[in-house]
Amino acid sequence: EAPWTDVLAADELPTDDVCGLAVDGRDIAIYTVADAVYATDNICTHGHARLCDGFLDGHEIECPLHQGKFDVRDGRPLCDPVTVPLRRYPVRVEGGRVYLQLD
């Protein structure tokens, strides 16, 4: 099993929102939706925009540049112009810390 990387204190998570995080040279977006936490690459698969600057509506993140949307649960593209899925990362919240499985 791939290792889990400690990335954040659970009380630093956004509330029903998205934040960007640099982890091991990667740009990761972390989302909370109700009590669930999700993580994907932060850079849009369509162009060079950071999804943490976009708008989270339920499980949908809207890219700030051309308004493409992805489902944060699995990274799948939901509308034009995005067609390539976002890479997603498994998340575990335990003992007040947030862990990601990066590989």
Which member of 2, 10, 36, 47 binds ligand FES (CB under 6 A)? Answer: 47
Residue 10 or 84 having the CB closest to ligand FES: 84
Looking at 13-21, 23-31, 46-54, 90-98, which segment touches ligand FES (CB under 6 A)? Answer: 46-54
Burial class (CB in 10 A: 0-12, 13-18, 19+), 15: exposed
Q: Which of 22, 17, 18 is nearest to 7 (CA)?
A: 22
| Shortest reach from residue 91's CB to ligand FES, in Å | 22
* Locus of tokens 């669930």: 36
Q: Does 86 bind ligand FES (CB under 6 A)?
A: no
Contact by Cβ (8 Å): 90, 103 = no
Can you give the binding site for ligand FES, defined by CB under 6 A?
Answer: 44, 46-47, 49, 63, 65-66, 68, 81-82
